[in-house]
């Protein structure tokens, strides 16, 4: 079994050096790393979920800091934290239900109605205490310690005291293994969802693309590619306009791939979008991240496309897997909306070397080059989101995102003890 810290360090280097291309690959590798962290984490008998949460937080904080712009990393860390909380709550609820059944059974054997009522009321109080804070459920050990002796699990008085102690120890060990097993199984399902998100989204293509339509997109997105190809496989005949996506010209790669797969494709410059938008029936684009307010972080240039689509009443549709749904808002200080790429993508240093020389006595170059990587499209410009769970309006995204994350995990930082 490889050392977890070595795996973490290797992944941190990849994130810092931008060695991983695409949010899907980044999310999958982050989930696989956290699965390894959980599987090798030793957990105590008490507060098992807390130990797993602390371990994931410690690693997650490093991963997010390594590449703050890649929001998919933080999304996966928060998803795994939410999974731990949910599985712990599920096991706690199941254990309390078993305790209630045991108390009810004891009450049936007792002829004293008053004592039976006392068991029922106290058990209900224990359940209410467990459900009082669903986002931060107490551990089963805490619940049992807080219960009165009258509700505690009845003792069996026998000469086999050692056997009873061994049974309790084995039961605690079983609960520990059960929590880790359930969490790992849930993380495996998350990884499977990430791997199949393109196929899940592409299955919905036939519902949105119709015969003889004209689709506009910009840049290159594997999700968009699979979506368009799925519609073509369903015998839909349509044409695709691809804006080239300067300065990286990723649209050239998408246009070539679309032609290879047999789709009618027209390549246009980014500046021609407003001139061509009147011929378009729908704009379909990918996303870097979807924020909690329904806004979208997209490749640079797509805000211009969204404005053109709004001006001509053309639907603006965003395709995004669930791993791109971010529980943060654009104004949150934890969100880094953009990064500046190399000026070499815009100009040749040899040709512009004179302009880039430092001015005499000023201490700064005469020419500055700004090359942002992303645009922000506000929710009012988005017509529809298509995710691996279906189509959703921008106003519904906050509710969809709330199903994947816990409020306690929005800021991924390790708990600092008071007095430190």
What would the pLDDT profile of 41-92 be if each residue is shown by its tens digit?
Answer: 988 888 889 999 999 999 999 999 999 999 999 999 999 999 999 999 998 8
Residue 77 lies in a domain: no
Residues 372 and 345 sit within 8 Å (Cβ to Cβ): no
Residues 299 and 260 sit within 8 Å (Cβ to Cβ): no
Instruction: Kindly tell me if the per-residue pLDDT of 179 is higher than 60.
Output: yes
- Which tops the pLDDT comparison, 11 or 98? 11
Predicted local confidence at residue 319, as pLDDT: 98
| Distance from the first to the final alpha carbon of the chain | 35
Predicted local confidence at residue 334, as pLDDT: 79
Q: What mean pLDDT comes out for the span 282-289?
A: 97
Element (H, E) at 223: helix 222-233
The pTM score is 0.81
pLDDT band with cut points at 50, 70 and 90 for residue 337: confident
The domain tally of the chain equals: 1
Residue 151 lies in a domain: no
Q: CA nearest 24: which of 375, 286, 340?
A: 286
CA distance 325 to 333: 17
> For the chain, percent helix, then strand, then coil, each to nearest 5?
55, 10, 35
Q: CA nearest 139: which of 95, 106, 75?
A: 95
φ/ψ bin of 114: left (φ > 0), alpha (ψ from -120 to 50), beta (otherwise): alpha
pLDDT band with cut points at 50, 70 and 90 for residue 152: very low
Q: Share the mean pLDDT of the chain.
A: 84
Half-sphere exposure at residue 382, Cβ-oriented, CA atoms within 13 angstroms: 30
Tokens of 144: 């049992």
Note down the domain range covering 226.
198-409
Tokens of 273: 């979008």
Tokens of 63: 């991963």
Phi/psi of residue 376, each to 5°?
-115, 125
CATH number for the domain spanning 244: value is 3.40.50.10470
The residue behind tokens 């002796």 is 149
CA distance 357 to 365: 6
Residue 185 lies in a domain: no
Name every residue whose Cβ is closer than 8 Å to that of residue 22 and which is 6 or more positions away in sequence: 222
Q: Which of 132-136, 230-234, 369-373 has the lowest mean pLDDT?
A: 132-136
């Amino acid at each position: 079994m490889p050392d977890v810290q070595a795996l973490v360090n290797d992944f941190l280097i990849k994130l810092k050096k931008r060695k991983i291309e695409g949010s899907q690959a980044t999310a999958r590798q982050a989930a696989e790393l956290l699965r390894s962290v959980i599987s090798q984490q030793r957990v105590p008998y008490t507060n098992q979920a807390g130990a797993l949460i602390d371990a994931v937080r410690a690693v997650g904080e490093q991963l997010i800091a390594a590449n703050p712009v890649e929001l998919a990393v933080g999304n996966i860390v928060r998803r795994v934290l939410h999974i731990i909380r949910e599985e712990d709550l599920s096991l706690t609820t199941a254990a309390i239900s078993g305790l209630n059944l045991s108390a009810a059974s004891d009450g049936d054997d007792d002829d004293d109605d008053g004592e039976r009522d006392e068991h029922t009321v106290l058990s209900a109080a224990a359940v209410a205490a467990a459900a009082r804070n669903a986002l931060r459920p107490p551990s089963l050990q805490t619940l049992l310690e807080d219960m009165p002796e009258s509700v505690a699990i009845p003792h069996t008085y026998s000469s086999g005291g050692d056997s009873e102690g061994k049974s309790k120890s084995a039961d605690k060990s079983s609960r520990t293994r059960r929590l880790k097993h359930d969490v790992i199984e849930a993380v495996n399902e998350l990884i499977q969802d990430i791997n199949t998100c393109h196929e899940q989204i592409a299955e919905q293509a036939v519902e949105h693309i119709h015969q003889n339509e004209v689709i506009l997109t910009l840049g290159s997105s594997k999700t968009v590619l699979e979506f368009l190809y799925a519609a073509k496989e369903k015998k839909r005949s349509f044409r695709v306009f691809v804006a080239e996506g300067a300065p990286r010209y990723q649209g050239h790669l998408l246009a070539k791939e679309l032609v290879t797969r047999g789709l009618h494709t027209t390549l246009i410059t980014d500046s021609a979008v407003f001139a061509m938008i009147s011929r378009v029936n729908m704009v379909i684009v990918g996303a870097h991240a979807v924020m909690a307010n329904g806004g979208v972080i997209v490749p640079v240039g797509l805000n211009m496309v969204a404005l053109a689509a709004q001006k001509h009443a053309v639907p603006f549709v965003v395709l995004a897997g669930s791993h791109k749904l971010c529980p943060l808002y654009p104004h949150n200080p934890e969100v880094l909306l953009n990064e500046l790429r190399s000026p070499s993508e815009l100009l040749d240093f040899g040709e512009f070397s004179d302009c880039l020389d430092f001015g005499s006595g000023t201490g700064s170059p005469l020419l500055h080059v700004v090359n942002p990587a992303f645009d922000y499209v506000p929710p009012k410009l988005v017509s529809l989101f298509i995710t691996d769970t279906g189509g959703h309006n921008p106003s519904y995204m906050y509710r969809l995102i709330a199903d994947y994350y816990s409020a306690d995990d929005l800021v991924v930082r390790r708990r600092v003890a008071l007095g430190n």
